[in-house]
């Protein structure tokens, strides 16, 4: 699409119907606000292909699956009771969290048989399942899943090698021109980190790996010390201090290795 035909609207404060109409059709791609900035949202292989093209992005990272409830995470991903507890506590406290998890075998059958699987999992068949990423996009992901049975996949709406700084003007011309719809909510994004400047604000959420190097789920710890492999914080971000406090309450052992991606 050309710049002239990319629709830009301000978030309506609820479920953005225009976004649902685009994403429930084949190949839809929108830009939507989150707690840490703007993301590209898609729901199928055609949309994912458009996302990779718009971002010039490599395909070696696990895809981000936006989940509108803890129940959705439980339905899709393998988890230990401790990991479920972690998700529930973050949900209850409205804290953005993303964990690298394996897919349940029965959940893989829910993935459209159109090439989507190869674009939203890594070679280990893991994805990053994210909750509490921000009301505008949460509302969309929840309705897409519960009403239409469609996934919501995400990637930051950043020009290559740059952040969008939480401003819709920062997504860059290439992404702006490629999207079918842009939902602007700079005021919402700014409200999440009111004490931060453009230079000190977090532009991403915390990511925790809950799998070993082969993609197998980490073991239950049951309070024992030194159980390995253990959770690894592989990316710091918004509310990292709160997340590490919760992890310390649930897990006896976990590691902090920012930048230790996949």
C-alpha–C-alpha distance, residues 239 and 245, integer Å: 10
Q: Taking 80 as the threshold, does the pLDDT of residue 100 lie above it?
A: yes
* DSSP reduced 3-state for 205: strand
Characterise 32 by phi-psi region: left (phi > 0), alpha (psi -120 to 50), beta (else): beta
Which pLDDT does position 120 carry in this prediction?
81
Which pLDDT does position 3 carry in this prediction?
45
pLDDT-derived band at 262, boundaries 50, 70, 90: low
Which pLDDT does position 162 carry in this prediction?
76
Write the CATH number for 29. 3.90.870.10
Which pLDDT does position 182 carry in this prediction?
98
Number of domains forming the structure of the chain: 1
Which pLDDT does position 53 carry in this prediction?
85
What is the tens place of the pLDDT at every residue in 145-182? 999 999 999 999 987 667 788 999 999 999 999 999 99
CA–CA distance from 41 to each of 125, 152, 182, 247, 258 (Å)? 20, 6, 10, 29, 25
Under 8 Å CB-to-CB from 114, ≥6 apart: which residues? 44, 45, 46
Which pLDDT does position 61 carry in this prediction?
63
Which pLDDT does position 151 carry in this prediction?
95
Angle, CA of 228, 74 and 252, to the nearest 5°: 25
Which pLDDT does position 59 carry in this prediction?
62
Which pLDDT does position 160 carry in this prediction?
67
Q: Taking 90 as the threshold, does the pLDDT of residue 259 lie above it?
A: no
Which pLDDT does position 153 carry in this prediction?
94
In a domain, 261, yes or no: no
Instruction: Please choose, from the candidates 68, 55, 87, 206, the residue with its C-alpha nearest in 3D space to the C-alpha of residue 145.
Output: 68
In a domain, 21, yes or no: yes
In a domain, 103, yes or no: yes
Which pLDDT does position 52 carry in this prediction?
85
In a domain, 1, yes or no: no
Q: Taking 90 as the threshold, does the pLDDT of residue 71 lie above it?
A: yes
* DSSP reduced 3-state for 192: helix
In a domain, 2, yes or no: no
Angle, CA of 249, 253 and 255, to the nearest 5°: 105
Chain-centre distance for alpha carbon 232: 17
State mean pLDDT over 6-24.
96
In a domain, 119, yes or no: yes
The residue with greater pLDDT, 57 or 52, is: 52
Which pLDDT does position 1 carry in this prediction?
39
Strands of the sheet containing 97-102, edge to edge, are 7-10, 181-184, 29-33, 38-42, 153-156, 64-66, 126-131, 97-102, 207-209, 232-235, 255-256
Residues found in the chain:
262
What is the pLDDT of the chain when averaged over all its residues?
92
What is the tens place of the pLDDT at every residue in 180-236? 999 999 999 999 999 999 889 999 999 999 999 999 999 999 999 999 999 999 999
Which pLDDT does position 60 carry in this prediction?
58
What is the tens place of the pLDDT at every residue in 200-209? 999 999 999 9
Which residue range(s) make up the domain with 99? 7-256
Burial of 51 (0-12, 13-18, 19+ CB in 10 A): buried
Under 8 Å CB-to-CB from 262, ≥6 apart: which residues? 60, 61, 62, 100, 122, 124, 209, 234
What is the tens place of the pLDDT at every residue in 109-145? 888 777 788 878 888 999 999 999 999 999 999 999 9
């Amino acid at each position: 699409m050309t710049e002239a035909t990319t629709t830009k609207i301000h978030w309506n404060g609820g479920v953005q119907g225009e976004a649902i109409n685009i994403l429930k059709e084949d190949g839809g791609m929108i830009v939507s606000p989150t707690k840490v900035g703007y993301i590209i949202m898609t729901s199928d292989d055609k949309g994912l292909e458009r996302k990779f093209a718009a971002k010039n992005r490599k395909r070696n990272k696990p895809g981000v699956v936006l989940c509108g409830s803890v129940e959705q995470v439980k339905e899709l991903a393998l988890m230990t009771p401790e990991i479920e507890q972690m998700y529930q506590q973050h949900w209850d406290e409205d804290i953005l969290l993303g964990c690298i998890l394996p897919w349940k075998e029965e959940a893989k059958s829910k993935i459209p048989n159109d090439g989507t699987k190869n674009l939203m999992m890594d070679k280990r068949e893991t994805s990053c399942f994210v909750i509490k990423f921000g009301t505008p996009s949460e509302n969309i992901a929840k309705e897409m899943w519960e009403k239409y049975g469609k996934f919501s996949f995400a990637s930051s709406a950043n020009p290559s090698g740059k952040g969008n700084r939480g401003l819709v003007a920062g997504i860059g011309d290439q992404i702006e021109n490629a999207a079918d719809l842009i939902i602007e909510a700079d005021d919402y994004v700014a409200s999440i980190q009111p004490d931060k400047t453009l230079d000190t604000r977090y532009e991403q959420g915390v990511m925790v790996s809950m799998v070993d190097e082969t993609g197998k789920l980490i073991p239950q710890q049951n309070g024992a010390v030194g159980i390995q492999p253990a959770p690894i914080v592989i990316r710091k971000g918004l509310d990292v201090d709160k997340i590490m406090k919760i992890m310390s309450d649930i897990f006896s052992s976990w590691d902090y290795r920012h930048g230790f991606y996949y």
